[in-house]
Structure 1
Amino acid sequence: MAGPGVRGAPARWLGIGLWGLFLLRGCLSLEVSVGKATTIYAVNGTEILLPCTFSSCIGFENLRFWWSYNSSDTFKILIDGTVKNEKSDPKVKLRDEERITLVGSTKEKMNNISILLRDLEFSDTGKYTCHVRNPREYYLEHQATIFLQVVDKLEVVDNTLMRIILAVVGGVIGLLIFVLLLKKLITFILKKTQEKKKECLVSSSGNDNTENGLPGSKAEEKPPTKV
């Protein structure tokens, strides 16, 4: 009959295996990013770069990527392509229109699959999602979305109020620093003045004792008069 240690071994190894699978699962996860800005603005008739990068801790092979556009009444695939491996540049298999250009590259481990959208129109306003699927990760899809707003002109942000606030705050901080320095200077001068007064008092007291022939004075050093 098997002992308790033998019976518990399969369960222990199963737990270790599940924990290892969990760690491996976390490592397998792709990360897709379109930058920190969730909304970008562009002027009608110009061009805009829609950024997208990906990363994987185990690498990739025959990775598929595509960009989709979604507005209130439209959904379409803008561009579809693949990346064979880390040493290969992305290749486009499907393009919705000529205004879209893939500007990505995997060189220097950038894993860049950004696109350039030219001759912007107001109808281009909407959500742009970058999708990535890695066969090494059981074909799970990862994505990141950025919102594009096409405008007639970019509004110039008036920073006058902000500059005034910064100037006031800077002035207050400068004044506080000046007050602290002035306080230290006054404290130093008062301290030196008190030390000089003490020295004068000690010196004056010594002179009085000498003149009055008190003990410890020069009068005490005279020899007694002989009769």
Structure 2
Amino acid sequence: MELQQGRRSSQHRCARSGDTLHAGLVVTLLIGVWYAQALEVTTGKVHFVEVLNGSSVLLPCSYSSCIGIKKLYFNWHFKDNGTMVKLCEATITAEGVEPRVMIYHMRVEFVGSSKQNNISILLHNVTFEDQGEYICFARNFKEKDRNHSATYTLYVVEELKVVDNTLTLIIVSVLGGVIGLIILIMVIKAIVQTVLSKVQEKNKECLVSSTGNDNTENGLPASKADSKPTPKA
């Protein structure tokens, strides 16, 4: 009796252990799905730009979420010597609804659109004081206020660097000349082979014709009528 109870207790513990394992797997799967669907903010493949002093520059930013957005709050900050300066902010109430953007910097213009998941801004009349990091932040109420941010670095210069393409042009010219020479050699080779082939065919025809004429003159291809003996009278 005690042995049966021990077996039952062992089976019960195994079942509880299996349930715990399954629950852990479910939780892990749900966490993976949650992160896969999570809000993401990006400033593109290139996270910096170099602009000329006094010009205007686009600071790109876009957002994405697999489960959609609701009351998506976003803002832009400029990191000025460690101090975060807010440039603009707004809330996108639903997908496709254009936000009412509050601008806190006189040279900032919002140029994004919720229809393209775009929350980019334009900075006019750039000065050297504008150089630094710009942070795009977003928070999605639909994902229990999950948030994400991306940084874009701005470099301001007096004049843009002129890229010396001399070496590149030399390399391209040499490669082009080599390729052209190879093509020319191949064309000449094909023409020569064609001419030689025609000459060989003509030589064969002349040889066959000459051989036939020589044999006729020497009486070699005599006809059957000529081979018969002359009948006696």
> By the TM > 0.5 criterion, same fold?
yes
SS at match of 1:133: strand
- AA aligned opposite 2:112: G
- Counterparts of 1:75-154 in structure 2, within 5 Å, are 75-93=84-102, 95-107=103-115, 110-154=116-160
Cα 1:209–1:47, aligned 2, differ >3 Å: closer, same or farther?
same
Offset at residue 9 of structure 1 (A): 8.8
Q: Is the 8 A contact 1:210 1:219 kept in 2?
A: no
Match of 2:226 among 214, 222, 226: 222
Q: 1:27–1:58: 8 Å Cα contact kept in structure 2?
A: no
Verify the 8 A CA contact 1:213 1:219 in the aligned structure 2.
no
Q: Secondary structure at the match of 1:101?
A: strand
Structure 1 position 178 matched with structure 2 position 158: no
> Which residue, out of 69, 92, 108, partners 1:60?
69
Q: How does 1:10-25 map to 2 (within 5 A)?
A: 14=23, 17-18=26-27, 21=30, 24-25=33-34
Q: Any gaps of 5 or more consecutive residues in structure 1?
A: none
State the Cα deviation string for residues 75-99 of structure 1 (Å, max 9, x = none): 3332222111112112324x43222
Distance 1:172 1:71 in 2: 54
Number of residues of Structure 1 aligned to a counterpart in Structure 2: 220
CA distance change for structure 1 residues 219 and 173 in 2, over 3 Å: closer, same or farther?
same
1:199 equivalent in alignment to 2:205: yes
* Deviation larger for 78-87 or 204-213: 204-213
How far, CA to CA, are the matches of 1:221 and 1:185 in structure 2?
51
Aligned to 2:174: 168
- Cα 1:64–1:183, aligned 2, differ >3 Å: closer, same or farther? same
Q: State how far apart, in whole Å, the 1-side matches of 2:199 and 2:150 are.
A: 71
SS at 1:91's partner residue?
coil
Matching of residues 23-38 of structure 1 within 5 Å: 24-38=33-47
Name the counterpart of 1:47.
56
Structure 2 gap ranges (5+): 1-7
Distance 2:58 2:85 in 1: 18
